[in-house]
Amino acid sequence: MKFLLISALLLSFVTHAHALQNSNNTVVLISLDGFRWDYIEKHGAKNLAKIAKQGVRGSKMQPVYPTKTFPNHLSIITGLLPINHGVVDNRFCDTKRAECYSMGKGRDDSTWFNGIPLWNLATMQGLKSATYFWPESDARFNGMTPDYYYHYSKHSDYQNRIEQIIQWLKLPAPQRPQLVISYFSLVDSIGHKYGPDAEQTKQAVQQVDALMGQLQQRLDALEQEINLVIVSDHGMSTVEPNQSIAISNLPKDDKFMVKNTGPRVLIYANENTTAADISSYKARLSKAAKGRYTVLTDNQRAQYHYQNNGRTGDIILQTTAPRSFADSGEVNYLGTHGYAYSDDMAATFIANGPAFKQGITLDKVNNLDIYPLIAKVLGIELLSKIDSDGATLWPALKN
Ligand SMILES: [Zn+2]
């Protein structure tokens, strides 16, 4: 027992020294939910434009499929595709577990997830990590949590989040996190309600832009080696409610269970449903589509890295903007995301700080590449296999 304890201490000392040797860089990673790739120009985000111009900007960042909040945040933070980290949609079922997941469920049950999130990767190698919200950051991945974290509350004041980030970075070195992560949902909520082109969405962009400008100034004033990385999870498309597809009007079959997720419908076969039942229901759904949606083929699912694994559904219906699925009648929102990748679904990537080049724009970057990029900046090693070689973001780094 004593020997084990000493070994553990020794190991923690060795890895800590190793990490410090590699990098004094701090990373502050911010997610602005639903901040479409073109909002900086479209809605006049002056501060973000400046931060990008003095650093690196990915003109468009490609999210993973499906272009939803939880799958993408988990992919950014683990470097894994949704079928590998496990969160294949904001809401989905697992036919083997005979149980369904919905956003935030990891707080009570982290067995839904696979992978090593960046905050644990940092902690495992002797750095401290802090999160003021990130989807599922209060879940015990690998049996661990970030060193500092909060349980999610959408009511938490935005200014308080900035104050806490700065306070963490003013802690004495042994307590100070070298990885600080935070999340702001406003632009997504307003974008859903009013659509991407609305004046209200512009105002939300400007509010978050002012906050990011303030954050950058206050980080500069700390005179540490701090890198600010600002990303979003996906874009936003305009929805026409009068083009809604009412699921209640589609062919029904009690051998199946239906989960509506906006642009897509996941359909799960009940126990004892045969392959022939699935084929026949697929055929009836295809016939009822009349050009409004497609029933995904196995080939399409393979292209999307979304093969059937017990969570992703036995049948998937998918539509394109401005259509969206409603349970019945019409949807009550003017913007959404979750469609297959198109320009409207492209996300934002900005990085600024001592580790990054200045004044460059990268054409198209991949959000799975953020994980190895941040690990590199922090000087820590990847400890497991991921679904990224980092290729689209290596050109962002100095050296
Ligand atoms: Zn989102």
Instruction: Assign 222 a pLDDT band (cuts: 50, 70, 90).
Output: very high
Please provide the average confidence, as pLDDT, over all residues in the chain. 94
Residue 189 CA to ligand 1 center (angstroms) comes to 9
> Ligand 1 centre and the CA of 338: distance in Å?
9
Distance CA(392)–CA(332), nearest Å, equals 38
pTM for this predicted structure: 0.93
Nearest by Cα to 33 from 211, 141, 182, 162: 182
Model confidence at 324, pLDDT cuts 50, 70, 90, reads very high
Chain segment 234-251, per-residue pLDDT in tens: 999 999 999 999 999 999
Q: How does DSSP classify residue 36?
A: -
In this prediction, residue 260 carries a pLDDT of 83
| CA–CA distance, 316 with 338 (Å, rounded to integer) | 13
Ligand 1 center–CA 307 separation, angstroms: 23
The per-residue pLDDT for 154 is 87
Angle between helical axes of 186-194 and 199-221 (0-180°, round to 10): 170
Q: How confident is the model at residue 23 (pLDDT cuts 50, 70, 90)?
A: confident
3-class DSSP state for residue 46? Answer: helix
- Cβ-based neighbour number of residue 271 at 10 Å: 7
Q: Do 74 and 85 touch, CB atoms closer than 8 A?
A: yes
Instruction: Give dist(CA 155, CA 207) in Å, integer.
Output: 16
Q: How far is the CA of 140 from the centre of ligand 1 (A)?
A: 22
252, with CB counted inside 10 A (0-12, 13-18, 19+), is exposed
Each residue of 116-172: pLDDT tens digit?
999 999 999 999 999 999 999 999 999 999 999 999 998 899 999 999 999 999 999
Q: Are 266 and 89 in contact (CB under 8 A)?
A: yes
Phi, psi of 59 (to 5 degrees): -60, -35
Q: Ligand 1 centre and the CA of 337: distance in Å?
A: 8
> Per-residue pLDDT for 200 more than 60?
yes
Structure tokens at 370: 């953020």
Looking at residue 329, the DSSP 8-state letter turns out to be S
C-alpha of residue 339 to centroid of ligand 1, in Å: 12
Token pair 């190991």 in the structure block, residue? 11
Model confidence band, residue 399 (pLDDT cutoffs 50, 70, 90): confident
Domains of the chain and any CATH numbers: 24-237+340-396 (3.40.720.10), 241-332 (3.30.1360.180)
């049996």: which residue's tokens? 143
Q: Does residue 8 have a pLDDT over 60?
A: no
pLDDT for res 363: 93
What is the mean pLDDT of the segment spanning 79-84? 98
pLDDT tier, 261 (very low <50, low <70, confident <90, very high otherwise): confident
Whole-number pLDDT of residue 162: 98
The CA 233 to ligand 1 mean position distance, Å, reads: 5
Q: Using the mean position of ligand 1's atoms as its centre, give its distance from the Cα of residue 229 in Å.
A: 17
